[in-house]
Amino acid sequence: MSHPRDAQNAPQPPYPFEIRSSGIQGMGAFATRAIPIGERLIEYAGERLTPAQAEERYPDVAGERHHTFLFAIDDDVVVDASVNGNEARFLNHSCAPNCDVVIDQKRLWIEAIHDIEPGEELVYDYAFVLEERHTPAAKKRYPCHCGAITCRGTMLAKKR
Ligand SMILES: [Zn+2]
């Protein structure tokens, strides 16, 4: 059912990065060649759920860490990268990102927002938003160790 424009825009493997252990956390994605700003790298793939289905699968309990492979496209669709996900789920969070997730035609894509050198880790700002207030305790449940000078110490988004 893909539109011709989708096929043209959709990056295909081999992707310009490799998955290996990261100094930020666990595994990460590292550029295997120079990547120019604006390049679309990979789809953030996963099972598509309604918000109700996502809530049923991962109940959002205040005071507990919620599931980090969920990505809301809009009010109707949530992508769960832990089911049918791809290498995009290995990208780590950073407060000084070189990539971002963009929504195009109801799909999620990782795109470079800076020129990236070979060997650089690909990172984007998760900017999680919780239902509850972003208190210091909540921020601590999502600590950030990205090492950036501008690190805000948490993967939670600034709320207003
Ligand atoms: Zn940080």
pTM over 0.85: yes
pLDDT over 70 for what percent of the chain? 92
- CB under 5 Å of ion ligand 1: residues: 95, 144, 146, 151
Q: What pLDDT was estimated at residue 159? A: 74
State how far the Cα of 39 lies from the Cα of 32, in Å rounded to an integer: 14
Output the CA 7–ligand 1 centroid distance in Å: 35
Superfamily of domain 4-141: SET domain (2.170.270.10)
Q: For the chain, which residues make up each domain, given as ranges? A: 4-141
pLDDT per residue over 72-95, tens digit each? 999 999 999 999 999 999 999 999
* Bridge partners, 30 (sequence order): 18, 121
Q: What pLDDT was estimated at residue 160? A: 57
pLDDT > 80? residue 6: no
Strands, E assignment, the chain: 17-21, 27-31, 40-43, 47-49, 70-72, 78-80, 92-93, 99-104, 107-112, 121-124
Exposed / middle / buried, residue 46 (Cβ in 10 Å: 0-12, 13-18, 19+): buried
Reported as a pLDDT band with limits 50, 70 and 90, residue 8 is: low
pLDDT per residue over 99-123, tens digit each? 999 999 999 999 999 999 999 999 9
Output the CA 58–ligand 1 centroid distance in Å: 25
Output the CA 6–ligand 1 centroid distance in Å: 33
Tell me the CA distances in angstroms from 150 to 13, 90, 128, 153, one per residue in order: 33, 22, 17, 9
Output the CA 155–ligand 1 centroid distance in Å: 7
Mean pLDDT to the nearest integer, 14-21: 97
Strands, E assignment, 10-91: 17-21, 27-31, 40-43, 47-49, 70-72, 78-80
CB atoms within 10 A of CB 12: 7
Output the CA 140–ligand 1 centroid distance in Å: 12
